[in-house]
Amino acid sequence: MPYAVTARLDPIAAAGIERLWQALAERLGADDSLQLGYHPHVTLAVLPDTAPVAPIDAAVARLATIWTVQPVTLAGLGVFPGTPPVLWAAPVPTSGLLAWHSELHAALTSLPVHPHYRPGAWMPHVTLAKEAHWPAERLLEAALSAWDGKLQGSLDRIDLVRFRPVAILRSEPLAPAPDQPAPA
């Protein structure tokens, strides 16, 4: 089972993604994201199961002490072509999100990160469906029918997981940014 480092969406933004997941399940039977049983997130790195977990865990633990909650805007939808296509929501790639990615990969530099998640190749995304055997146009049509426009929220937690099935190995809340109020 490979490892992933993810940044989780706050409950409000996550609820918007979960509505899209539900709509895709109802309209097309595309329920793989619901079946995953894991919170909506942006994956920052994927590593093979042969990677040593201790340095990944140490990097996540250290970064969780210095990273603060990042605002996120999911501004649209996209598709990675393939068989099957992967439908995703597009977070605006802010300087903060890109800095997180860069800092994580600097900490993992000696490890075999999947090529799609390396700096210069990574496309930030929140997966909506990746195992649906529908044409990309049909997936987009179904998602757009449930899309309310931009979703705003934050990335408020960093996780280290193994997957399929998802097992959370470490989950760390992030401190509010200095200009953000503390959660109630």
Whether 63 is covered by a domain: the verdict is yes
pLDDT (average), residues 49-76: 98
The SS3 call for residue 134 is coil
The beta-strand segments (E) located in 48-150 are 70-80, 86-91, 126-129
pTM: 0.93
Percent of the chain with pLDDT over 70: 97
Whether 90 is covered by a domain: the verdict is yes
Alpha carbon distances (Å) from 127 to 2, 21, 50, 65, 180: 17, 9, 24, 27, 27
Number of separate domains in the chain: 1
Segments forming the whole domain that contains residue 79: 3-172
What pLDDT, on the 0 to 100 scale, is given for residue 179? 76
Query: Is the separation of the CB atoms in 60 and 158 below 8 Å?
Result: yes
Whether 178 is covered by a domain: the verdict is no
What pLDDT, on the 0 to 100 scale, is given for residue 23? 94
CATH number at residue 23: 3.90.1140.10
Whether 177 is covered by a domain: the verdict is no
Q: For residue 58, is pLDDT > 90?
A: yes
